[in-house]
Structure 1
Amino acid sequence: MHKNLPRTTERTERRISAATSIGMCALTVIAQIATTLFLTHFLQEKATYVYSVLELAGVIVAIRVYQRPGSPTYKLAWMCLLLALPVSGMLLFCLWGGTHQAKSLSLRSIPLIPLREGQRLASEKNLAQLRRQSPAWGRLAAYLQKRGFILYRDTDAQYFGDGAAFFEDLIAHLSRAETYIFLEYYILAEGQLWDRIFSVLRERAAAGVEVYIIFDDFGNLTRLSDETLQAIQNAGIEVEVFNPVHRYVSRIYFNYRDHRKIAVVDGHYAWTGGINLADEYAGLVIRFGHWKDSGVRIEGAGAWGFAAQFIQMWQMMGRTLPNEEDYYRSRHQMPQSSGFCQPFTDGPLNNPDNPIEETYLQLISSAQRMLYITTPYYAVEESMQKALCIAADAGVDVRLLIPGIPDHHKFTYMVAETYWGELLNHGVKIYKYTPGFLHAKSVLADRETMLIGSTNMDYRTFQLHYECGVLLYHMPVVEQLMEDLDRIMAESTLYTIEDWNNRDLFRKIFSSLFRLGAIWL
C-alpha cells in the first residue's frame, strides 16, 4: 500500500479529525472565557495588567495581518477577531491564518511544465490573433499567459448540461484510453457511478494503460472506504491523497483543499466543470431536489493544458512519472477548429497573486452587452460586488443564476443573501433555480467568451482552494452554454427586491451575523 493511503487506524484519525476542525473553534472560545474568568477571580489586581498584555499581543498580530498582501476582507475579519477576542483570535490564527500553512502540506513549489520555443511562439501568435479579433479578451488572455497558461488553437469543445451525459461521454473515452488516464477530483465517492468507472479503469490498467488518481482527503472522509482504496491499488492504479487529514491532526490544515475536477485521456481529451465523481452528480440519487451541474470536454491541443496541471500537482506531492514529458503528449491528429482555448489553475501557493479572482474581475469589467453567471455559493470581495454593480449600471445585462434549494451549507446560503439587495438595486437580475440545487460554475460574457471549471464565487475558491478552469474564446461551444442557461432561467424564479426585503427579521439578523464570518464558512 502506498504510504499516503490511510490504514484502518489512520482512517479513525481522519474521522476524529473532522470533528476536531469544528471543535477547535468552540475550544478557543472556551479558552477566551476561561482566561477572562481566571484573571478576574485568581489574579484580581493583576487581571487588568495581564489582559492588557494579551490585548497588546492581539494588536501586534492584527498589525501583522494588516501588513500582509492579500484580500482586504480576509484581513479585516482576522483583525476584528484578534482585537475583540485576543486569546481565541491568536489561537485560531496560529492554526488557520498564517500563509505558512498553505506552504506546509508536503507540497513542493513546482512550476508548470516549461514552454518549448515552438509552443511559446505559437501562443504568442494566437494571442496576437485574439487581440486583433477582440482586444478586451486579448488582454485577459495576455494576463493568464504571463502567468504561464498557454493560449491554444486546434481545439474542439463539447458542453454538457447534466452529469448523466457528462459521465457517459467520459466513461466511453476512458474505455478507449491507449496510453494513460489522469483523474484529479475533490470527491471520489463509492456508489453506482464509481463501480462503472472503476471497472473501466481496472480493465485499462490491466491492458497496460497508466492510470493515476489524485483525490482530496477531506472531501471523502465518509465516502471512500479503506477497502475501496485497497482495491484501487490492487488494480495497479497509482493513487495520491491530497492533504491527508490524519497527517495534520495537530496542525488542522483543513482549509487548504484540492477542489479541482480534472480528467485527461492520452493528452488529447480533457474534462472539467463542477462535476465530481459521485452518484448525485449523475442523477442516480436525489439530494436537495434536482442536482443541476455542467461540464465540458476539451479535445485537441488545449487538453494538454489540463495534463500539465495534473503533472504539476503530482510532482508537487513528491511523486514522479515513469516516462518523459513527451510520452504524455497527444499522438492524435489535432482538430482544425475556430476560436481559442486557455486552461488555467490556481491555489494557495499562488497567493497573493490570484489568477482566478482576477480572471473573474476582468470578465466582469470587459463585458459590454451581457454577463450570465452560475454559482452555487456567493461570498465575494467588495471589489467584485462593486464590479457587478458597475457593469449593470453601465447597461450590461447582468444575471446571477443560483440554487433554489441550498445544499447542506445553509449558513453559506444565508451569507449569499446579504449581497443580493445591493445587486438587485443596481439592476442585476437574480434567478433561483426552482427544481433544486444549481451546482454549475460558469460565466458567459457577450456570447463570445465563457469560463467553466471548479470555481465557486466565494472566499474558499479565491483564497484557499486549489482550483482549475478553462476560458473558451469565440468557439461554437459558447452557444451550447447559452442554450443551457436559457433552459435554466426558464425553470427558475426571478428573485426581486421585494422578495429580499420581505425576509423575516430573524433571517436578516442571522444572515448579517454569519457574513462577519464568511471567510471561514
Structure 2
Amino acid sequence: MSLTSWPVLTALLVAIPIVLRVIALGIVPGNRKPSSGMAWLLLIMIQPYVGLFAFSLFGRTALGRRRHGRQQRADAAIRQAMSVPEAVPEPEPASSVASTWVDGVVRLNQHLGALPMLAGNQLEFLPGYRATIAAMAHEVEAAESWVHVEFYITAWDEVTDPLLGAMARAAERGVEVRLLFDHLGSRGLPSYRELLRRLGDTRIQWRAMLPIRPLQRRWRRPDLRNHRKLVVVDGLVGFAGSLNLTEPGYNKPKNHRLGREWVELMVRVEGPAVAALNAVFAGDWYAETGEIADLALPGPAQSVTPAATGSAPAGQVVAPVQVVPSGPGYPAENNLRMFNSLLYGARRRISITSPYFVPDESLLSAVTTAAQRGVAVELFVSEVSDQFMVGHAQASYYRALLEAGVVIYRYPAPYVLHAKHLTIDDDVAVIGSSNMDMRSFSLNYELSLMLRGVEPVTALRQIEDEYRRLSTPLGPEEWARRPARLRYVDNVMRLTAALQ
C-alpha cells in the first residue's frame, strides 16, 4: 500500500461510522416506540457496526410476505364468519357506570382482534399442574371428531404423557388430531429429540411454529415466537391459560436440584367462546401449513345468546367471554391496549399476576396513575426470576411502583409463579398467555380471555387470596437498601428490554 493511500483509508475509517450513525438517526425511529428507538440508537452510537448488525437481526418484526398474507386471509375469514354488529351481551357489572366503560373495551377488542364477546359460557379455573393436564387428557379421550392443541413449549415426558398419549390414541381411532408447538420454544428443552421421535410414531398431525431453518430458506427475526397455549376438543370444550406442555421443572436438571417448579393457571371453557378459541388455532394452523382446519364458528344467534340461567355446576361459573388474540402480525398491540383501557377504567381495585412485568411507558403510567388516584393496586411476582435479564429488567421498575403506592407481593422461591391474570373491581377479569412485558406486546403471539361479571372475578380473587397468603410483601425501605451493583445491572437490563 502506498503512502498516499493511508490518508484516504484513515478518512474512510473515520467517515464510515459517522455516516452510519447519521443514516441510523433517520431510519431506526421510524414506526417504533420512542423508548425502543432510543435504545437502538444508543447501541448504534456506541458501537455502530455491532449495533447495525444486531438491528438487522432483531430490529424488524416482519414475518414474511407469504405468512403475513395467510394471516390476513385467516383474520378476514374469521371476521366475516363472526361478524355480529350487536355482539355485546348484557353483563353482570357492579353498576351501570361499569357497564358503560367495559362496553368500550369490548368494542376495542373486537375492532382489533375480530372476535366478539360471547355469552353463556361455563368456566372452571384449574390451578393444579398435573390435574390440569389430566383434565385435558380426559376430554381428548372422549373426542369424536377433532382435537386441536397449541403450546409454546411441548415435551413428551411422564407428566405430559397422559395428554399426548390420549392424543395419539384418538388419532389411531380416526379423530383428526392437530398439534402446534413453537420451534425454538420447544427446541430449548433437553427432551426435544425425544418429542420428535415419539410424535413420528403417531398419526398426530403436527407442525413446529415459526421455524428457524436457514438452509430451507425459513429465516426471520429469531425472537418472534408463538407463545399461545390452548386446547379445543370437538368445538365443545376448550382450555387456555399459562401452562406449557412439559413437566413442572421443564425437564432441566438445574431446576430439579433447586426444587424449582412452575405455578400455573388454566381455564376450562364450555360454550360459544370455544369456537373463538378454535378460530385462533385455525388461523395459526393455516399460517403454518396453508391448510384449512375445522373452524366450527358460532353464528350470530349463538353470539348473542343470553347468559345461561340457573346455577353452574360446582366449581364452575357462568360468564361472557371475549377471546383476544395478539401478536406481531396484528397492526396494533391488542393486549397492551386492552390492559391499559382496563387499568384506566378501574375505580376501586386492581390485582395483577405477571411473572415477567416489564412495562412500556404507557402501561407503567396506567398502573402508577391508578394507584395515585386511590385505586388499591397489587402486583404478584416471583421472589426469584428464572430469567436473568428479564428478572433484573423487572426489578428496575419496582421503585416507581412502590413510590406510587402499588403493593408488590413476591411468591416464595424456589417456585416460579407463571400464571398470568388480571382482575378489575368486581367487573372484569383477564386470563391467558400474555405477560405484562414488552416482548408479549410486540414480539410474541399471545392469547387472552376477557371475562365479564362478578362470578369470574370472585373465582379469580380466591386464587389471588392464596397467592397473597403464601407471598411476602416488598417494603419500600427494604428495596431502597438494594446494593448499588444490583441496581446497576437492573438498569442495564432495562435498556436491553427496550430493544424491540
TM-score class normalised by the smaller sequence: 0.7 to 0.9
Question: For structure 1, which segment, 132-141 or 376-385, has the greater mean C-alpha deviation from structure 2 after superposition?
Answer: 132-141
- 1:405 deviates by 2.3
The correspondence for 1:266, drawn from 221, 228, 234, is 234
1:433 aligned onto 2:405: no
- 1:245 deviates by 2.4
Distance (Å, rounded) in 1 between the aligned partners of 2:69 and 2:121: 32
- 1:289 deviates by 3.4
SS in 2 for 1:440: coil
Q: Where do 1:98-117 residues align within 5 Å?
A: 98-101=60-63, 108-110=70-72, 111-112=74-75, 113-115=77-79
Distance (Å, rounded) in 2 between the aligned partners of 1:162 and 1:103: 41
| CA spacing shift, 1:421–1:132, aligned 2, 3 Å | closer
Which amino acid in structure 2 is aligned with residue 303 of structure 1? V
| CA spacing shift, 1:102–1:392, aligned 2, 3 Å | farther
Correspondence for 1:18: none
Correspondence for 2:446: 467
The correspondence for 1:241, drawn from 208, 232, 237, is 208
- 1:231 deviates by 3.2
The correspondence for 1:152, drawn from 102, 106, 118, is 118
Correspondence for 2:196: 229
- 1:423 deviates by 0.8
- Over the residues paired in the alignment, what is the CA RMSD in angstroms? 2.9
SS in 1 for 2:225: coil
SS in 1 for 2:449: strand
Correspondence for 1:308: 279
SS in 2 for 1:95: helix
- 1:309 deviates by 0.3
- 1:67 deviates by 2.5
Which amino acid in structure 1 is aligned with residue 290 of structure 2? R
- 1:48 deviates by 4.4
Correspondence for 2:45: 83
SS in 2 for 1:153: strand
1:142 aligned onto 2:107: yes
The correspondence for 2:19, drawn from 56, 77, 84, is 56
Which amino acid in structure 1 is aligned with residue 59 of structure 2? G
| CA spacing shift, 1:430–1:98, aligned 2, 3 Å | same
Q: Where do 1:147-226 residues align within 5 Å?
A: 147=112, 148-223=114-189, 224-226=191-193
| CA spacing shift, 1:116–1:83, aligned 2, 3 Å | closer
- 1:411 deviates by 2.2
- 1:51 deviates by 2.8
Q: Does the aligned pair in 1 maintain the 2:385–2:416 contact within 8 Å?
A: yes
- 1:466 deviates by 0.7
Deviation digits for residues 59-105 of structure 1 (CA, Å, limit 9, x no counterpart)? 2223212132x422222211211222211111111111124356576
- 1:164 deviates by 2.4
The correspondence for 1:346, drawn from 318, 323, 326, is 326
Deviation digits for residues 442-486 of structure 1 (CA, Å, limit 9, x no counterpart)? 101103211111111111101101111100000523211100101
Which amino acid in structure 2 is aligned with residue 392 of structure 1? A
| CA spacing shift, 1:375–1:180, aligned 2, 3 Å | same
Correspondence for 2:455: 476
TM-score normalised by structure 1 residue count: 0.84
| CA spacing shift, 1:237–1:166, aligned 2, 3 Å | same
SS in 2 for 1:67: coil
SS in 1 for 2:101: helix
| CA spacing shift, 1:433–1:248, aligned 2, 3 Å | farther
Q: Does the aligned pair in 2 maintain the 1:348–1:463 contact within 8 Å?
A: yes
Question: For structure 1, which segment, 380-389 or 102-111, has the greater mean C-alpha deviation from structure 2 after superposition?
Answer: 102-111
Distance (Å, rounded) in 2 between the aligned partners of 1:106 and 1:241: 17
SS in 2 for 1:309: helix
Correspondence for 2:29: 66
1:120 aligned onto 2:120: no
- 1:508 deviates by 1.2
Deviation digits for residues 145-171 of structure 1 (CA, Å, limit 9, x no counterpart)? 112121100211111223223222211
Distance (Å, rounded) in 2 between the aligned partners of 1:258 and 1:453: 13
Distance (Å, rounded) in 1 between the aligned partners of 2:193 and 2:81: 45
Name the one with the larger helix percent: 1
* Long gaps (5+) in structure 2: 310-317
| CA spacing shift, 1:54–1:101, aligned 2, 3 Å | farther
Which amino acid in structure 2 is aligned with residue 195 of structure 1? D
Distance (Å, rounded) in 2 between the aligned partners of 1:246 and 1:175: 35
| CA spacing shift, 1:46–1:249, aligned 2, 3 Å | farther
SS in 2 for 1:470: strand
Percent identity reads 23
Q: Does the aligned pair in 1 maintain the 2:36–2:499 contact within 8 Å?
A: no
Q: Where do 1:349-360 residues align within 5 Å?
A: 349-351=329-331, 353-360=332-339
Q: Does the aligned pair in 2 maintain the 1:376–1:402 contact within 8 Å?
A: yes
| CA spacing shift, 1:163–1:118, aligned 2, 3 Å | closer
Distance (Å, rounded) in 2 between the aligned partners of 1:316 and 1:209: 22
Distance (Å, rounded) in 2 between the aligned partners of 1:293 and 1:234: 30
Which amino acid in structure 1 is aligned with residue 320 of structure 2? F
Distance (Å, rounded) in 2 between the aligned partners of 1:65 and 1:210: 46
* Long gaps (5+) in structure 1: 1-41
Which amino acid in structure 2 is aligned with residue 63 of structure 1? G
- 1:206 deviates by 1.5
Distance (Å, rounded) in 2 between the aligned partners of 1:416 and 1:65: 25
TM-score normalised by structure 2 residue count: 0.87
